[in-house]
Amino acid sequence: MSTATLKPVNPANPVAAKPHLDLAARYAADGRREEAIAEFRLALDSDRDVATIFAMAKLLDRVGEDDEAIDLYEEICYLPTPPANALINLAVLYEDLGELGRAERCLRRVLDTYPTHPHARMYVKDVCAVQTMSYDANAAQQLARRNAVLDTPITDFELSARARNCLKKVEIRTLGDLLRVTEAELMAFKNFGETSISEIKSMLNSRGLRLGQGLEGGFEEEYRRKYLDELRTQVAPDLLEIPINSLELTIRARKAIQLLEVRTLGDLACRTEAELMGIKNFGSTSLDEIKAALAAQGLSLRVLE
């Protein structure tokens, strides 16, 4: 807020304002709010006193005239040292409108001057809690929308039977799975030719997407963490932390999974057959070897639903 002064009245005439203020007080006490507001307006025409503006703003608030009440509270709160009650009332109105940032700033101004003000402390906690809830709800909504898109089956897209079958053989069943592989990985798959890859790239490009996009911006790390959390509810967590070096794998298989930066059994169990088969020179023999090693520990590669 700025440090502007109240709207000037030239000249201010408290004597002329007093009869209207007396009537306004009488009408307000009798519950005749509309008449009280009318008298307050006349009083303010003569003298824009802070107490008068505050009293009228409170009355407008009570009759549901929030916009005008906010205007009057803001007029007071533009002062360098506004009344604490005006700031608190304005914060409550802001909160009702969903303007949580403004509400918090009003309350912080009160607490800067009165650090132990009970109402300001209580309201600022409420506002901050609502802000957090709003953020969490928005984030959850965005995540749900993203997941819904990524879970779209490959069969929903216009691809040739050959391209669709190639993807199925390497366990790529959803759009999310497809975005988590690179062009080089697809080329390494048996029977995956340039024609099928061009077709897939064209389909993704028409939707503003591309191969390997799901590996960027921490997406894959987030996805694997979520899957690991699920695994920890199904097996002993310590089992997932066993180093890969403890498995009796051939040199070829060990070097291949090192390219994926797989260090523990949990890391390996989060991978799919498609990801492993995408490694250069990784064949079905190495795949069977790794699957057997995991099975001996009661684990398996992630299977796409």
- Report d(CA 223, CA 86) in Å as an integer: 48
Instruction: Please enumerate, as own/partner, the contacts of 51-57 that have beta carbons within 8 Å and a separation of 24 or more.
Output: 52/17, 52/21, 53/6, 54/83, 54/85, 54/86, 55/24, 56/24, 57/86, 57/89
Instruction: Give the pLDDT band (50/70/90) at residue 22.
Output: very high
Torsion angle, alpha carbons of 70, 76, 81, 87, to 10: -20
* % of the chain at pLDDT higher than 90: 5
The domain limits of the chain are 14-137, 154-215, 231-296
Query: What architecture is domain 14-137?
Result: Alpha Horseshoe (1.25)
- Report d(CA 85, CA 15) in Å as an integer: 26
Q: In this model, does residue 145 exceed pLDDT 60?
A: no
The domain defined by 154-215 carries CATH number 1.10.150.20: yes
By the 8 A CB rule, do 55 and 83 touch?
no
Q: In this model, does residue 154 exceed pLDDT 60?
A: yes
* Greater pLDDT, 228 or 86: 86
- Report d(CA 137, CA 86) in Å as an integer: 31
- Report d(CA 112, CA 94) in Å as an integer: 19
By the 8 A CB rule, do 40 and 7 touch?
no
* Greater pLDDT, 176 or 90: 90
Residues 6+ apart with CB under 8 A from 257: 244, 249, 268, 271, 276, 279, 290
User: Which fold would CATH assign to domain 231-296?
Assistant: DNA polymerase; domain 1 (1.10.150)
* Greater pLDDT, 10 or 99: 99
Look over the chain and give the mean of its residue pLDDT values, rounded to a whole number.
78
Q: What is the pTM of this model?
A: 0.40
Q: Do 14-137 and 154-215 share a fold?
A: no
Position 1 scores a pLDDT of 44
Q: In this model, does residue 140 exceed pLDDT 50?
A: no
